[in-house]
């Protein structure tokens, strides 16, 4: 038996990068999966085809995480399609790095909508479908603990909110046997923050292991938190940062 055999998972923002790595790993562990995407239908369908080619079950759902109704509908569609819901991974995110004077109200509203409100709405909706043993994993950031650069106030604000939300929801969901945890990756080689990008050398200088994480390394950790073996971990913010904040 695979560790997630007969489980159902939804991963938001999973057409590429970290989200794609997570949804593929959960499928490889036996889960039937759904992935949401906002603007990359071809990439999303490519992920679905890869999972199906490896013997898994997957669907892609168009859902902009800034749209409350779309987030709710995606969670409900997943539960309806597969007949249950066991795992939610809140991964979809937005990133704005700007000097304080350049940040706009639209930047603020979009970041809070995608990085905070969508996490709450998805967790709220998922909890309606989950039974004992349910798992919610939020993808936060090590930058909620450690910020060695300027221009990140808005991003850090939202990821710090995710850490606080995770603690609070652990109290709401604990009596129901549902766990919720916050994964805090350090620099990870994705489209959003490539290991060859403009800030990569500076970022590597802060990492004890002197390299970026691969998306697969983060996905391995998420898969553990989604598994039965993590049943006594909840409300935690857990670093996977190669010593970035050491």
pTM here? 0.97
Residue 1 in domain: no
Per-state percent for the chain, helix, strand, coil, to nearest 5? 45, 15, 40
Q: Which residues contact 243 (CB under 8 A, 6 or more apart)?
A: 207, 208, 209
Residue 245 in domain: no
Q: Say what the pLDDT of residue 192 is.
A: 84
Answer yes or no: are the C-beta atoms of 90 and 63 closer than 8 Å: no
Q: Is 146 a catalytic residue?
A: no
Residue 246 in domain: no
Residue 214 in domain: yes
Helix (H, G, I), strand (E, B) or coil at 243: coil
Answer yes or no: are the C-beta atoms of 219 and 9 closer than 8 Å: no
**Mind listing the pLDDT tens digit of every residue in the chain (246 residues)?**
899 999 999 999 999 999 999 999 999 999 999 999 999 999 999 999 999 999 999 999 999 999 999 999 999 999 999 999 999 999 999 999 999 999 999 999 999 999 999 999 999 999 999 999 999 999 999 999 999 999 999 999 999 999 999 999 999 999 999 999 999 999 999 988 899 988 899 999 999 999 999 999 999 999 999 999 999 999 999 999 999 999
User: Which residue in this structure is represented by tokens 């489980």?
Assistant: 7
Q: Say what the pLDDT of residue 112 is.
A: 98
Helix (H, G, I), strand (E, B) or coil at 90: strand
Residues 54/86/118/203 CA torsion (nearest 10 deg) = -60
CATH code of residue 102: 3.40.50.720
User: Which residue in this structure is represented by tokens 């071809």?
Assistant: 42
The total number of structural domains in the chain stands at 1
Residue 73 in domain: yes
From 155, 206, 212, 244, the catalytic residue: 155
**In terms of residue numbers, what domain contains 96?**
8-240
Helix (H, G, I), strand (E, B) or coil at 240: strand
């Amino acid at each position: 038996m695979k560790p997630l055999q007969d489980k159902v998972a939804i991963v938001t923002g999973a057409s590429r990068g970290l989200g794609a790595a997570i949804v593929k790993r959960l499928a490889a562990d036996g889960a039937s999966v759904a992935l949401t995407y906002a603007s990359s239908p071809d990439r999303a369908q490519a992920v679905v085809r890869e999972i199906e080619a490896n013997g898994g079950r997957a669907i892609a759902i168009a859902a902009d995480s800034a749209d409350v109704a779309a987030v709710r509908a995606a969670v409900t569609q997943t539960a309806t399609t597969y007949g249950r819901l066991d795992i939610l991974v809140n991964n979809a995110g937005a990133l704005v790095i700007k000097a304080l004077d350049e940040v706009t109200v639209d930047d603020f509203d979009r970041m809070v909508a995608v990085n905070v409100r969508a996490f709450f709405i998805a967790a709220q909706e998922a909890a309606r479908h989950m039974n004992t043993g349910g798992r919610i994993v939020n993808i936060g950031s090590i930058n909620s603990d450690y910020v060695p650069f300027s221009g990140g106030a808005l991003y850090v604000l939202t990821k710090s909110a995710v850490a606080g939300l995770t603690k609070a929801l652990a109290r709401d969901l604990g009596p129901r046997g549902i766990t919720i945890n916050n994964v805090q990756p350090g620099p990870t080689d994705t489209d959003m923050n490539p290991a060859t990008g403009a800030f990569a050398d500076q970022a590597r200088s802060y990492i004890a292991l002197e390299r970026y994480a691969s998306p697969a390394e983060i996905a391995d950790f998420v898969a553990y938190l989604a598994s039965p073996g993590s049943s006594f971990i909840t409300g935690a913010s857990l670093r996977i940062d190669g010593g970035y904040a050491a």
